[in-house]
Amino acid sequence: KNEVEQSPQNLTAQEGEFITINCSYSVGISALHWLQQHPGGGIVSLFMLSSGKKKHGRLIATINIQEKHSSLHITASHPRDSAVYICAVSGGTGNQFYFGTGTSLTVIP
C-alpha cells in the first residue's frame, strides 16, 4: 500500500506543451510537497502546499484537500524542465514524510 500515488510514471512532451502531473494521497497531512530531481542531481523543493494554489514562474501547484489530490502544472514546457518530479506529503509523528515514486518528465526540443 502506497500512501502517495503519482501519475503518470513517465511523460514525454514537446517543447511548449502544457504538462500536468497528478498526485493522490491516502493519509492525513499537514502539507504536500512537490520536489524536483535532475539526473544525477540532488532533490530540491519546488512547492509546499496546505491549501489552494501556488505559482512560481511557469510552475503551478494545486491541492484539493477534500479529494486528497494535487496537481503540478508546467506551462510552456522547456527541455530544462526534464527531471523527475516527486510528490511528498508530511504529517504524523516525527515529522514523517511519505514520497511518491516520481514522474520522469522528458521535454523534447
Query: Is residue 39 involved in binding another protein (CB under 8 A)?
Result: no
Q: Does 68 bind another protein (CB under 8 A)?
A: no
Determine how many CB atoms are found less than 10 A away from the CB of residue 59: 18
Asked if 82 and 74 count as a contact pair (C-beta separation under 8 A), the reply is no
Radius of gyration of the chain (CA): 13
Closest CA to 90 of 77, 80, 100: 100
Q: Give the contact letters, 11-30, x = binds to another protein (CB under 8 A), - = no.
A: -------------------x
Can residue 64 be called a binding residue for another protein (CB under 8 A)?
no
Residue closer to another protein, measured from CB, 44 or 108: 44
Q: Which C-beta is closer to another protein: that of 77 or that of 88? A: 88
User: What are the φ and ψ backbone dihedral angles of 17, each rounded to 5 degrees?
Assistant: -70, 155
Q: Which residue in the set 17, 20, 22, 48 belongs to the binding site for another protein (CB under 8 A)?
A: 48
Q: What nine digits make up the cell of 14?
A: 514537446
Q: Tell me how far, at minimum, the Cβ of 79 lies from another protein, in Å.
A: 22
